Amino acid sequence: MIEIAPSILSADFARLGDAVAQAESAGAERIHIDVMDGHFVPNISMGPVVVQALRPVTSLPLEAHLMIDNPDRYIDAFIDAGTDIVIVHQENVPHLHRVIQQIREKGKQAGVALNPGTPVHLLDSVFAELDIVLAMTVNPGFSGQKFIPSVIPKITEIRNRISAGNLDCDLEVDGGINDETGRKAVSAGANVLVAATAIFKHSGGIAAGIQSLRRQSEAKDILV
């Protein structure tokens, strides 16, 4: 089954609780929270206080995508605020194994994200420890960017690794996901679709955005 993870980066921040409640009613499986520090990525977004504010609003898992330097310093704060899933980036974590253990020892799910330019083999020695691999399909920093099609073979490569190892690991894609690119990503092997613009800026509203993504990504006549 495909999971839809609305990224609140494109939600109406003045009505964030309502936006998340609507996403939950429309059948979203998790809420994706993009954390940016103005160093690892050029943009600044939100911190643990947002997780804390949303925790009572939804029973869905809250997923923090940490696009920040020194994520190990902030993991406990995000978990204490109510985060269920913590995703760090391979590119700026020298002690990746330790950070994954830090997350799992707290009983939370651990994920690692790969930028479009980062090869899959850099995860070789930690792959079996991961609950999630997130393939970035844009360069991180902003919502509303265009899907990078050259990431598609990498999605398949990650799916093959998960299958070959018989691993219990989600494969998420994040960036420029809409009805068309979501379908391509699922066809390549993704099982979790992160989307901000396609959901929170959908002309028919949040529920319509989620339903459309799900319908298209689960369509039988998949065209790549």
Q: Is residue 173 within 8 Å of residue 135, measured between CB atoms? A: yes
Q: Does residue number 177 form part of the binding site for ligand DX5 (CB under 6 A)?
A: yes
- CB of 34 or CB of 84, closer to Zn ion: 34
Active-site residue, selected from the candidate residues 37, 131, 170, 174:
174
CB of 163 to ligand DX5, least distance (A): 25
- Residue 18 CB, shortest distance to Zn ion, in Å, is 21
Angle in degrees, CA 18, 147, 15, rounded to 5: 10
Contacts of 52 (CB under 8 A, 6+ apart): 81, 82
CA within 13 Å, CB half, 141: 10
**Residue 58 binds which of Zn ion, ligand DX5, none (CB < 5-8 A, kind-dependent):** none
For residue 70, CA distances in Å to 34, 48, 121, 204 come to 16, 15, 22, 39
Nearer to ligand DX5, 47 or 176 (CB): 176
Name which position in 62, 193, 196, 206 contacts ligand DX5 (CB under 6 A): 196
Interacting residues with Zn ion (CB under 5 A): 34, 65, 174
Hey, which residues are catalytic here?
34, 174
